[in-house]
Amino acid sequence: MLEFFESVSRSIADTTRVRILKMLEPGELCVCQVTAILGLAPATVSKHLTLLKMAGLLSQRKQGRWVFYRLSSHDNNPYAPPVLGLMQNILDDDPVIAEDKTRLEKVNAVPLETLCGDGRYIFTDKPRRKGTSAAKHSAS
């Protein structure tokens, strides 16, 4: 049982993974959406999501080319439900979590087809991939 507790406690010891858990409270998100909110590389986000899933904190489903994650409702780790319950009542007044919520609203307004192309750069001035334009993205 200690290994189950350890996997959950290690998962929530990382601020990026805590941010992911908080942004998933309202409902499931595609990997592209999480990537856009965090502004991290897709591989980095996928690693964090995998660790949270392995700890029993997240569930996933695949729909076409997209993979969606949500807070787990399964009891494959007995420590996951109490930790998720605790997470719902904390950090809502944290400036980083508040900014993530603001970004979540903006991300939810962008179609997945558009977001999955250059979503990581939606909140930055970094260059977009060749063949895409800012006008195309702002029109969506």
The pLDDT confidence band at residue 139, using thresholds 50, 70 and 90, is very low
Asked whether the whole model's pTM tops 0.75, one would answer yes
CA 21, CA 47: separation in Å to the nearest integer?
Answer: 14
130 CB-contact burial (10 Å; exposed 0-12 / middle 13-18 / buried 19+): exposed
Q: Is residue 11 part of a domain?
A: yes
Helix axis angle for 42-54 and 31-38, nearest 10°, is 120
Taken as a whole, the chain contains a residue count of 140
The model's pLDDT over 62-79, given as tens digits with 9 standing for 90+, comes to: 998 889 999 998 778 999
Look at residue 31 and tell me whether its pLDDT is greater than 90: yes
Q: Is residue 34 part of a domain?
A: yes
The pLDDT confidence band at residue 121, using thresholds 50, 70 and 90, is low
Q: Is residue 58 part of a domain?
A: yes
The model's pLDDT over 91-116, given as tens digits with 9 standing for 90+, comes to: 999 999 999 999 999 999 988 888 88
- Give me the pLDDT at residue 1, please: 83
Q: Is residue 105 part of a domain?
A: yes
Residue ranges making up the domain that contains 86: 2-124
Q: Is residue 62 part of a domain?
A: yes
- Give me the pLDDT at residue 22, please: 97
| Residues above pLDDT 70, as percent of the chain | 83
Taking phi over 0 as left and psi of -120 to 50 as alpha, with beta for the rest, 58 belongs to beta
Query: How many domains, in total, are found in the chain?
Result: 1
* Residue 28: φ, ψ to 5°: -70, 155
Q: Is residue 31 part of a domain?
A: yes
Q: Is residue 136 part of a domain?
A: no
CA distances from 17 to 21, 36, 130 (A): 6, 15, 31
- Could you tell me the CATH number of the domain that includes residue 91? 1.10.10.10
Look at residue 127 and tell me whether its pLDDT is greater than 70: no
**Closest C-alpha among 89, 126, 107 to residue 36:** 107
Q: Is residue 132 part of a domain?
A: no
